[in-house]
Amino acid sequence: MTVATSYGIPVLEQLQAQSLNTANQSDAIKLKNIRPATNGLMLNMNANPQIRIQREDNPSRLILDLQNTSLAKELHQANLPINRFGVKQVRVAQFQNSPEITRLVFDLDSNDPNSKITWKSQYIAATNTLLLSPENQVAQAIPIDSNPTSPGPTPINPPSTISSHAVIERLSFSSTGQLLIFANQPFNYQTRLDRTSGIFNVIVANAKISSNLQRPSLTANSPIERIRLSQVGSSVEIAIKTIAGWQVRETQRFTNQQIQLQVSLNSNSPFPNNQNPLPNNNPSIPNPQNTGDRRRGVIFVDAGHGGNDPGAVGNGIQEKDVVLPISLKLGQALQSMGYTVYYTRTNDVEIDLEPRVAAAERINADVFVSVHANSLAPGNSGISGVETYHSRNSTIGRELASYVHSQIISGTGANDRSVRGAGFYVIAKTSMPAILVETGYVTNPTEARNLNSPDYQKRMADAIARGIDQFMRVRGR
């Protein structure tokens, strides 16, 4: 292995020499904290360790072993989302106790050319900080154990360079609450939340704003209050302000030329009393309370459970994970029919029952449909089928349930477990016609496979949409 040099002195020796005084103050090296920084990762530790590196291709990852280093207990097996520099996430663990080795595993995006860049380290004794950062211009290695008898860790590949500035060309905001930021070439970025103002900031390094920037249209019902782009030196800062009760978070980055953010209800906050609930999926309808603007009607789609509440569990499937895609497909089907659709949730968040009802009431929805999946105790795995519930003593609810249930049975071929009255909160407390659809049993192996199938999810969603449409036509809404 060759090591980059500076003034004829190997970098390895230079970095080790810088850490000697600190290491002498304490025999034990300890990693106390780790967090993302503008240009990499900042590790809070009391000395500069030797770092052994190895790269693996299947799966694509970079392994950094911090020699003679212990890890704070609360950090053991922690996952740190990164989604930049070609790194999806960093996993941290106490890999070995004698001698102590702390392991950092960088899970790489093999489709991102930035995953090939070289990483370097710099220890700042004054602040007890070890900075790990990608080297985009000079191939400079992280200090590596040079013992020739040790196993053969491979060097990090040379960097891939990004020519000129990335140009931020377009922002889009989708009907499911996804905010996408597009550029003309790969770029790196970091995010920061100002908790005082509630503004979510995205800082794109080495970038500029296109003179023909395409911005999303934000309607009166949008959960985003404003988006502001600023050129700050060689970086572009994007400030996103949501209305009360909403939050912005990063999601999986599938290409290095875009950022994908999710705008959703903040499950830690009560639903705001004076704000519109979910994103209006038809921007041409700014005020759904105005019946003259409602077109064919407003449907509120409620995906059950979410977040820390998995719902029914069976055959390796969690209810929350199958009802969400069914709900989103249902919304899309209804939109194609001309309805305005609101969602309780468009991602994996936990929301209490009361805010779900409050949201539907505030937009004066014409129909409320809650999507669920069922389960039974062990020994009942042979039971399967669809049940559609309405509020007890609700004639109009029973009518809606009958239309929807009939369409589901004919459209999916599922076992018919009938239309039933019940006192579930979300259908008992809503003033509009409301139903709760139990789309199948996750404890039945065959039905579990169906519920986990995108094709079956679409068939289920389309059937529910046809039933709602049939009800709306008959009622003359």
Closest CA to 468 of 372, 385, 371: 371
pLDDT over 80 at 37, yes or no: no
CATH of region 5-135: 2.60.40
Mean pLDDT, range 227-251, rounded to an integer = 85
Q: The tokens of 123 are what?
A: 């220890």
pLDDT over 50 at 132, yes or no: yes
Query: 319-336 and 454-475 helices cross at what angle (nearest 10)?
Result: 50
pLDDT score for 220: 59
Mean pLDDT, range 326-353, rounded to an integer = 90
**CATH of the structural domain 291-475, one choice from 3.20.20.220, 3.40.630.40, 3.40.190.10, 1.10.10.10:** 3.40.630.40
Domains 5-135 and 167-265 share a fold: yes
In single-letter form, the type of residue at position 10 comes to P
E strand segments, 394-433:
416-422
Q: The tokens of 414 are what?
A: 């599922």
Instruction: Report how far residue 330's alpha carbon sits from residue 336's, in angstroms, rounded to the nearest whole number.
Output: 10
Instruction: Report how far residue 24's alpha carbon sits from residue 145's, in angstroms, rounded to the nearest whole number.
Output: 19
3-class SS at 314? strand
- Per DSSP, the chain holds a count of helices (H) and strands (E) of 7, 29
- Omega before 288 cis (within 30°)? no
* Domain boundaries along the sequence of the chain: 5-135, 167-265, 291-475
What contacts 43, CB < 8 A, 6 or more positions away?
A: 31, 33, 34, 129, 130, 131, 132
Give CA angle at 434 (432, 438), nearest 5°. Answer: 170
Architecture of domain 167-265: Sandwich (2.60)
Mean confidence (pLDDT) of the chain: 78
pLDDT over 60 at 290, yes or no: no
Mean pLDDT, range 185-206, rounded to an integer = 86
pLDDT over 90 at 38, yes or no: no
In single-letter form, the type of residue at position 194 comes to D
Instruction: Report how far residue 243's alpha carbon sits from residue 221's, in angstroms, rounded to the nearest whole number.
Output: 10
Closest CA to 71 of 47, 100, 99: 100
Report residue 414's pLDDT band, with 50, 70 and 90 as the boundaries: very high
**DSSP secondary structure string for all residues of 150-198:** S--PPPPPPPPP--S-EEEEEEEE-TTSEEEEEESS---EEEEEETTTT
Instruction: Report how far residue 192's alpha carbon sits from residue 137's, in angstroms, rounded to the nearest whole number.
Output: 26
| Minimum mean pLDDT range among 141-155, 293-307, 432-446 | 141-155
DSSP-H helix ranges across 246-318: none
Q: Which residue would you say has higher pLDDT here, 81 or 340?
A: 340
Taking CA atoms, 31 is separated from 65, 74, 76, 104, in Å, by: 12, 11, 11, 11
E strand segments, 378-474:
386-391, 416-422, 434-441
What pTM, to 2 d.p., does this model score? 0.45
3-class SS at 207? strand
Rounded percentage of the chain residues whose pLDDT exceeds 70: 80
Instruction: Report how far residue 209's alpha carbon sits from residue 223's, in angstroms, rounded to the nearest whole number.
Output: 24
What contacts 233, CB < 8 A, 6 or more positions away?
A: none
Taking CA atoms, 368 is separated from 49, 253, 301, 444, in Å, by: 59, 33, 6, 27
pLDDT score for 8: 27
pLDDT over 80 at 343, yes or no: yes
Report residue 39's pLDDT band, with 50, 70 and 90 as the boundaries: confident
pLDDT score for 282: 27
pLDDT over 60 at 150, yes or no: no
E strand segments, 243-374:
246-250, 258-265, 298-303, 313-314, 317-318, 340-343, 367-374
Instruction: Report how far residue 176's alpha carbon sits from residue 153's, in angstroms, rounded to the nearest whole number.
Output: 44
Q: What is the DSSP letter of 345?
A: -
pLDDT in tens, 197-221: 888 999 988 888 888 888 887 765 6
Q: Which residue would you say has higher pLDDT here, 142 or 229?
A: 229
Residue keyed to tokens 């705008």: 263
pLDDT score for 323: 96
pLDDT over 60 at 360, yes or no: yes
pLDDT over 60 at 103, yes or no: yes
pLDDT score for 477: 53
Mean pLDDT, range 48-76, rounded to an integer = 86
Report residue 81's pLDDT band, with 50, 70 and 90 as the boundaries: confident
